[in-house]
Amino acid sequence: MRVYSTQKDDLADILARKYSETADVSTAVTTIIDRVKADGDQALYQLVKEIDDVTLDSLTVTKEEIADALKATSPELIKVIEQSKANILAFHQKQVRQGFVSTEENGVVMGQRILPLARVGVYVPGGTAAYPSTVLMDVLPAKIAGVKKIVMVTPTDSEGKVPAAILATASIAGVDEIYKVGGAHGVAALAYGTETIPKVDKIVGPGNIYVATAKKMVYGVVDIDMIAGPSDVLIVADHSANPRWIAADLLAQAEHDKLAQAILVTTEDALIEKVQKEVEQQLAALPRKEIAAAAIENNGKIILVQNLGEAISIANEIAPEHLELSVSEPFALLGKVENAGSVFLGHHTPEVLGDYFAGPNHTLPTEGTARFYSPLSVDDFVKKSSYLYYTEEAMNAVGEAVELFAETEDLMGHARSMKVRREEKE
């Protein structure tokens, strides 16, 4: 891992991150979306054949397939999924908010209602990125919000099958309908609807560059959660940190993706060499060592800082998806953290606890977007609607002021809407 020091190196060099040369797939995705809009199901069957090389008899996952998937899943795993589900529900239940109303003495009433989205689409990637945990994280907040219909789309294997763990988890999470279509075509189906797949109000979930591009293109037709890039972790460590544990956490991030980012920021010069050695040793034993090694090579960094305040300043600049505070007094730093998707406090809270189990969401803002995006939450599955009521007297009391404002904007029709009511008292 490259080593930097805030004493010697330029901040811009320290912060530089390597991204892939992302091909511009927008022409291909535009064509896919147009085909799905024009030909619906027929386009989906053709695109699944052309792009995924799969011949489907039906787009719909049947009840039998789900029952088979549940049977094929070990009772131990089902128990773990159920525990994780309970933890996620308990945490997200705390995000539920009420509307409000203000009732004033002059008879004016105004407020804000909070209403669930009617239909939500959850995109679940296939292949090596087929994660049951993501199904739980994306579906359960929608259930709590009261979404009436949750529709999942996901690509199949070459035989037209969805992995059993995905189907079993979808069933446990309470997905209403599952369809066998991924990629940009899956996103297009959710955004515009087809004969079989219902049009939704919002699409959530991670995916490859085709999925991300399609999500951005349909944004506005439907809402989307965020545009997700490669995952990242930033670990702040002091003298109390365990180099073996830190190396394991850096590698857990690195095994996701060749462009994943794994950064250690430490006040301890002595820790650096130890972590380097541990990363080397542990890497050799990883099944996904090729990916992890590439990520460490591309975006693995160790940054030596003067003190923990400086460490947090760097974390705030980077705005990590995951921030581990592997320090003796982690809670003392929390109030300084301005930009981070999720913060893991202390030596016994590895990110993996949050990835799978503890309760907070693992769908988090990547690539520094924690500056403005938030972890997926119940808020993502509701909309707000405001309301206002004036009595005749209350309206007349402010009529002149409102007309003056409207006239200032040269909107005489707006002023008239008030004037006709003031002229003709009931």
161 near a copy of itself (CB under 8 A)? no
Is residue 322 a known part of a binding site?
yes
**Residues 301-340 contacting a copy of itself, CB under 8 A:** 330-331, 334, 337-340
Distance set, CA 152 to CA 128, 202, 335, 382 (Å): 18, 12, 38, 18
Single-letter amino acid code for the residue at 193:
G
Residue 212: CB minimum distance to a copy of itself, A? 9
List the one residue from 17, 149, 161, 216 that touches a copy of itself (CB under 8 A).
216
Buried b (16+ CB within 10 A) or exposed e, 322-339: bbbbbbeebeebeeebeb
CB 219 within 8 A of CB 135: no
**Residues 392-411 contacting a copy of itself, CB under 8 A:** 392, 394-395, 398, 401-402, 404-406, 408-411
Backbone angles phi, psi at 261, to 5 degrees: -120, 130
Q: Which lies closer to a copy of itself via its Cβ, residue 46 or residue 274?
A: 274
387 near a copy of itself (CB under 8 A)? yes
Q: Which lies closer to a copy of itself via its Cβ, residue 51 or residue 288?
A: 288
List the one residue from 38, 174, 219, 280 that touches a copy of itself (CB under 8 A).
219
Is residue 348 a known part of a binding site?
no
**Residues 15-74 contacting a copy of itself, CB under 8 A:** none
The pair of three-digit structure tokens given for residue 411, joined into one six-digit string: 């909107």
Residue 110: CB minimum distance to a copy of itself, A? 6
Is residue 185 a known part of a binding site?
no
Among the options 278, 321, 324, 351, which is catalytic? 321
Single-letter amino acid code for the residue at 237:
A
Among the options 92, 185, 278, 322, which is catalytic? 322
Identify whether 322 is a catalytic site residue: yes
* Contact map string, positions 265 to 284, toward a copy of itself, x by CB under 8 A: -----------------x--
H or E stretch at 48: helix 26-52
Single-letter amino acid code for the residue at 330:
P
Buried b (16+ CB within 10 A) or exposed e, 96-113: eeeeeeeeeeeebeeeee
Q: Across 163-321, where does the E strand assignment appear? A: 177-179, 202-204, 223-224, 232-237, 261-266, 300-304
Give the count of residues interacting with a copy of itself (CB under 8 A): 124
Q: Which lies closer to a copy of itself via its Cβ, residue 180 or residue 362?
A: 362
383 near a copy of itself (CB under 8 A)? yes
> DSSP readout, 332-386?
HHHTT--S-SEEEESTT--HHHHHHTSSS-S----TTGGGT-----GGGGEEEEE
145 near a copy of itself (CB under 8 A)? no
List the one residue from 117, 170, 178, 275 that touches a copy of itself (CB under 8 A).
117
Identify whether 424 is a catalytic site residue: no
CA–CA gap between residue 132 and residue 69 (Å, rounded): 12
Residue 128: CB minimum distance to a copy of itself, A? 7
Which residues are catalytically annotated? 321-322
